[in-house]
Amino acid sequence: MTENQHHEDEQLEVIMGLIINGGNAKSSAFEAIQAAKESDFATAEEKLKESNQFLVKAHDVQSKMLINEANGHKTTVSLLMVHAQDHIMDAITFKDLANEIVELYKKLASQNSFIFNEAGKLIPGFLFLVLFMRL
Amino acid sequence: MAEKTIMLCCAAGLSTSLLVSKMQKAAELNGIDVKIFATSAADADAKLDEEIPDVLMLGPQVRYLEGQFKDKLNIPVEVINMQDYGMMNGEEVFKRAVSLIHE
């Protein structure tokens, strides 16, 4: 294998690492929202944590490239590299918003649990409260 | 006309396009006549109607779409192995796709 070919393969591996970790972070964040939608908040929290771990991995790869660049070893910027950066930016934004959406679902669930019980039936206590307020 | 069609799908269809060329090589080496193409998640539905693939392989970065596709399709749908994807191992992904078609 020529030196050049070896370098290219290494480069591709780094880029794919960014794409996969960025993509996985987004996938996990998406699954967190889906779990929260079903009121499964334990899974939602788990998935948000998982999303963060993938982002940390992507961040490590990026940091290494930045350090290399600072040391005078420039990374070639290819279209695929730009695309990989897109994936990471997208994942960061998506994960931050997923955090907020999970919080919203939690709030919604705690408000609903005051009016409805787990089976979706009206809670008698709530009815009494409404009656009491009318009196 | 190729016998079977393998469809790959990822966020923008960019990294899977790279994988397509590697899988195509693996297919040629094995002497199998197969059509392989990649698409973006946004264009996936249109391509599914147009090309009628025999198997759908998803990039690990769009893992969250797996459930959706499984619900509406009656062909095998699978997320590509992360290591194979990272190494752009066309041979392994091709073998997996073929074995999914024959399952």
CATH number of the domain bearing residue B93: 3.40.50.2300
The structure's pTM equals: 0.78
The torsion defined by the Cα of B100, B80, B95 and B57, in degrees rounded to 10, comes to 50
Q: Which residues, at least 6 apart from A94, have a Cβ–Cβ distance to it below 8 Å? A: A25, A26, A29, A30
Q: With helix as H, strand as E and coil as C, how does chain B read? A: CCCEEEEEEECCCHHHHHHHHHHHHHHHHCCCCEEEEEEEHHHHHHHHHHHCCCEEEECHHHHHHHHHHHHHCCCCEEECCHHHHHCCCHHHHHHHHHHHHHC
H or E segment to which residue A118 belongs: none
CA distance B1 to chain A (A): 31
Kindly provide the ipTM of the predicted complex, given to two decimals: 0.73
Q: CB neighbours (10 Å) of residue A40?
A: 15
Mark yes or no for CB contact A13/B59 under 8 Å: no
Instruction: Report the candidate in A64, A79, A74, A77 with the shortest Cα–Cα distance to residue A21.
Output: A64
> Is A59 one of the annotated active-site residues of the chain?
no
Domains and CATH numbers, chain A: 3-134 (1.20.58.80)
Please state the domain count of chain B.
Answer: 1
Domain range for B57 is 4-102
Q: Per-residue pLDDT tens for B39-55? A: 999 899 999 999 999 99
Distance CA A78, CA B57 (A): 25
Most B CBs within 10 A among A19, A37, A57, hence the mutation to make, goes to A19
CB contact under 8 A, B85 and A26: no
One digit per residue, the tens of pLDDT, for chain A of length 135 reads: 577 777 777 888 889 989 999 999 999 999 999 999 999 999 999 999 999 999 999 998 888 888 888 888 888 888 889 999 999 999 999 999 999 999 999 999 988 777 776 666 677 777 777 777 776
Cβ within 8 Å, pair B63-A24:
yes
- Choosing from A7, A59, A73, A83, the catalytic residue is A83
Question: Cα separation of B64 and A132, whole Å?
Answer: 47
Residue A63 pLDDT: 86
CB-based contact A27 B64, cutoff 8 Å: yes
Q: Which residues contact B56 (CB under 8 A, 6 or more apart)?
A: B7, B8, B9, B48, B69, B73, B75, B76, B77, B78
Q: Which pLDDT value is given to residue A126?
A: 74
